[in-house]
């Protein structure tokens, strides 16, 4: 699997209430983003058998990247409660994505219904 970019800087800035035009910490955020991207790739790559991932799964992983970068940023600023909340959200999103990637025929919610001719025989007692 090729390296992926789940981190989107402006989405993270919006979450952290940093103005779009404020670039004072762009380098720091990009650094955190690269690390979170690598971690997400490490976590999901063993489970991805087909590419590209679906749009909704990609959205989940981008949400996870926001939470992951926000957790690192808040931790750096000593906002430990908020950082832990973001970390928990990150872990849950990654776990949910992996759960979805690992689904098999028994856990599939989408099933195919096939209509076939129904053959029956009279019961022995009816004959």
Nearer of residues 62 and 72 to other proteins, judged by Cβ: 72
Name which position in 19, 51, 114, 119 contacts other proteins (CB under 8 A). 19
Q: Count the residues of the shown chain that bind other proteins, applying the rule CB under 8 A.
A: 16
Helix extents (H) in the chain = 9-15, 26-44, 55-76, 80-101
Structure tokens at 47: 């489970």
Measured distance CA(81)–CA(78) in Å, rounded: 9
Stretch that binds other proteins, among 51-59, 60-68, 70-78, 88-96 (CB under 8 A): 70-78
Taking the complex as a whole, the smallest distance from the CB of residue 19 to other proteins amounts, in Å, to 5
112 lines the binding site for other proteins (CB under 8 A): no
Nearer of residues 23 and 54 to other proteins, judged by Cβ: 23
71 lines the binding site for other proteins (CB under 8 A): no
Residue 57, judged by CB atoms within 10 A of its CB (0-12, 13-18, 19+), counts as middle
Provide the CB-side half-sphere exposure for 14 (13 A, CA).
7
Q: Which residues bind other proteins (CB under 8 A)?
A: 16-19, 21-25, 73-74, 76-79, 82
């Amino acid at each position: 699997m090729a390296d992926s970019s789940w981190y989107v800087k402006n989405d993270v800035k919006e979450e952290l209430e940093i103005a779009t035009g404020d670039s004072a910490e762009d380098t720091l955020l990009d650094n955190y983003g690269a690390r979170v991207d690598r971690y997400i790739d490490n976590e999901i790559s063993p489970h991805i058998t087909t590419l590209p991932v679906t749009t909704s799964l990609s959205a989940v992983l981008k949400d996870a990247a926001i939470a992951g970068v926000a957790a690192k940023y808040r931790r750096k600023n000593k906002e430990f409660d908020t950082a832990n909340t973001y970390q928990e959200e990150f872990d849950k999103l990654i776990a949910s994505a992996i759960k979805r990637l690992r689904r098999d025929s028994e856990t599939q919610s989408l099933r195919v219904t096939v209509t076939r001719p129904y053959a029956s025989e009279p019961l022995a007692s009816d004959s």
